[in-house]
Amino acid sequence: MNNNTTNNVQLAHQTPLFQAVYKLYVAWHVRCETIPKKDRFTIGQKTESLLLDVLILVVTAYHTKEPQRKREILDKANVSLECAKITIRLAKDVKALEQRWYVEYESRLQEIGKQLGGWMRQTQNSPFK
């Protein structure tokens, strides 16, 4: 791997969006240990998987040069984020997740959504981003 590639990988991991998704994943992973076993291996794991998808798609979009492809990747990240919002709300509604944790995660998801939406708008408005 050349020096330029190494620098790009480090920068992808330093973006505010990546950091926000990463921290949410870690928090959810820890919280999953307290989710009832019957829900941990369904809602818990599915949410974990969706958050990992968002993380991977953010890094992939960061490294994608072609604008149309970048937009497609960001759209996929947005869909995965929306699905994570739904599974977290579902966890609250089936009483697998306490209201206070739901409020914290929902707040984080909203912030991530704003960041992702901003990137999507920026990419859509500029063919060179």
With bands split at pLDDT 50, 70 and 90, how would you rate the model's confidence at 126?
A: low
pLDDT tens column, 68-100: 999 999 999 999 999 999 999 999 999 999 999
pTM of the model: 0.87
pLDDT at 101 over 90: yes
What was the pLDDT predicted at 127?
54
Q: What is the pLDDT of residues 11-65, one digit of tens each?
A: 878 899 999 999 999 999 999 999 999 999 999 999 999 999 999 999 999 999 9
Using left for φ > 0, alpha for ψ between -120 and 50, and beta otherwise, residue 64 falls in beta
Quick one: CA dihedral 21, 26, 27, 29, positive or negative? positive
The two tokens of residue 48 are: 């974990």
Q: Which residue from 91, 82, 68 is spatially nearest to 110, judged by alpha carbons?
A: 82
Domain ranges of the chain: 3-125
The CATH classification number of 3-125 equals: 1.20.1440.60
Please report the pLDDT score of residue 2 as a whole number.
43
Among candidate residues 109, 108, 112, 8, the one with its CA nearest the CA of residue 61: 8
Q: Grade residue 125 by pLDDT with cuts at 50, 70 and 90.
A: confident
SS3 126: coil
